Homo-oligomer: A and B are copies of this chain.
Amino acid sequence: MTSDPRQLPAKTGTMSRRQLLRLIGLAGGSAVMYQAMTSLGFAAESGFTGFPKLGAAPRGASVLVLGAGIAGMVAALELRNAGYQVQVLEFNDRPGGRVWTLRGGDRYTELGGDTQDCGFAPGQYINPGPWRLPHHHHGILSYCRRLGVALENFVQVNYNALLHDPVAFGGKPQRLRTIKADYQGQIAELLAKATRGGALDAPVTAEDQEMLLASLQWWGALDRNYAYAGGHESNDRRGYARDPGGGPSGAPVYSQPLKPADVLQSGLWGFLPLGELYDMQSTLMQPVGGMDAIAKAFGRELGDAIRYRAKVVDIRQDERGVTATYEDAAAPGSPQTARADWCVCTIPLSVLGQIPMNVGQPMADAIGAIPYAGSTKVGLQFKRRFWEEDEHIYGGISYTSQPIGTIGYPSHGYQSPGKAVLLGAYVWGHDADRFNAMTPAQRIDQAVQQGSRLHPQYPQEFDNGMAVSWHRVPSAMGCFALWTESLREQHYANLCAFDGRIVLAGEHASYQPAWQEGAVNSALSAITRLHERAVDSGAKA
């Protein structure tokens, strides 16, 4: 027996353990992130319990917020509402940080100098950062409501989407519905057999066994003999060889299940639970028109409290306050300063670690210790929605064990004529390192090449693309804080604790890494503590 729940057999069937791990691990990228989190015991739902009720700020108290991502803007909004004088410094010329949407006409220059001009058609976009909102992320959803951000459904699971591995089934993509129905049905058949053979007599009472059999039959689509076979029960899950229709010749023709050993050895079952993970469970949502609708709404609210293109180059605190020195991000030199009583710093640790800042060793060690996950997203524009027109795939995600991992189809604008953009790659781990090293054009080329194995229409229909590798994004230099259990034990408390007049916030200071929700909850924790200190120190003064 393996001793680790994520350990997999060394070699089974046609797949090596490495292949299988990769298959599961790379299933859409989110899986990697997620497994990391779950194996650490920190994961999904929000700790949000409502907007903060801070009470009044001490007279004249001021706060400097570094970074106008979600954490920074939540902090700024709530502190300003409580009466603090708030100033926000933001590196980019837009609010949102990693909450970012690319559209036609946008220009993006990555670290290393490669510049891309986005050629997407009007109305088309890609979210290089977060692209979905779980229904239980109450914090960010509450801000969406408060700021009037319209939401629509994001489709995660599409039974008609594809599961693909270059080895499994000769490289032929399978429909998710087929693999799901067959795996589930064959599991149910095995358990029904074991039950009827008396193998469960010890753990399960006779009464419960009867109920178990009834449930397996319905749940697994078994026939009257508790077999998962090629009849109406299975076809009502896995689909038909010829679909039912109308008129005299409308009768369907049944399809036959795949062989159980083929299903198991394909490893494609590894993709099935992805939509069952807490953060991926339906209902998921997205802002209408792009994720930056959230960023823009905060930005509108904060107005000129945010100074854009302000690159922080030094952070220095003393007994009375905090001073940040910044330059024009587009034209370095001519440093300016901003000063306040307190500082909420939301700069990603990957960037913050390079900025001189006089904090104590515990926080400094924490900032330096946490690596950042790499990830690449590629948006591909095609001449038409062939995935809908030819293959009847409306929204949702196809998975492949190739480095691109994910093909995400737009959950909106169904059946619209003209060009459309899909997520052509969502790369993680070592594959992301390789993608970082490529030029944007090479990444796009890889996405088109690998995607062609799922959709042969790709080469003919491809129009243009945009590729964002997070380690090359100047304001982030990584995708999200990659906590491990031991890093968490060693550094998390120190990272979150106040250091003098400075407190950190952002997804990195939460148990919800990579999610906007983590940014919200971290910010609320930070400002609640800041306000207590400010009131306390005001009382002392």
Chain A positions within 8 Å of B, measured between CB atoms, are 1-5, 7-9, 12-13, 20, 24, 34, 37-48, 135-136, 138, 141, 144-145, 151-153, 155, 157-160, 177, 180-181, 183-184, 187-188, 190-191, 193-194, 196-197, 199-200, 203-205, 207-208, 210-219, 221-226, 231-233, 235-237, 239-240, 242-252, 254, 260-261, 264-265, 267, 269-270, 272-273, 276-278, 281-283, 285, 392-396, 411-412, 414-415, 492-493, 496-497, 505, 509-512, 518-526, 529
Contact = CB atoms under 8 A, between A and B. Distances in A.
Nearest to A148: B415
B5 A233 contact: yes
Given A194-B200, A219-B273, A265 B45 contact: no
The 3 A-B pairs of least Cβ separation, nearest first, read: A47-B245, A247-B525, A246-B521
A243 B211 contact: no
Given A153-B155, A244-B44, A246-B521, A5 B217 contact: yes
B160 A12 contact: no
A137 to B, nearest CB: 9
Given A237-B278, A394-B285, A511 B224 contact: no
A190 B190 contact: no
30 contacts: A1-B225, A13-B207, A40-B232, A42-B244, A42-B250, A42-B251, A44-B236, A45-B239, A45-B252, A47-B242, A157-B282, A159-B281, A159-B282, A187-B187, A191-B194, A193-B200, A193-B203, A204-B260, A215-B264, A215-B269, A218-B270, A219-B273, A237-B278, A245-B511, A246-B520, A246-B523, A247-B510, A247-B525, A250-B525, A283-B396
A269 B235 CA distance: 20
Given A283-B160, A523-B246, A252 B210 contact: no
B135 A392 contact: yes
Contacts of A523: 246
Contacts of A196: 1
Contacts of A219: 183, 269, 272-273
A79 to B, nearest CB: 15
Given A43-B252, A237-B273, 14 more contacts: A4-B224, A5-B217, A38-B236, A47-B250, A136-B239, A138-B392, A153-B155, A190-B200, A191-B194, A199-B199, A240-B278, A247-B526, A250-B511, A250-B521
Contacts of A34: 236
A43 B177 contact: no
A393 to B, nearest CB: 8
Contacts of A411: 153
A9 B216 CA distance: 12
A244 B525 contact: no
Contact of A12 (B8, B40, B208): B208
Contacts of A153: 152-153, 155, 395, 411
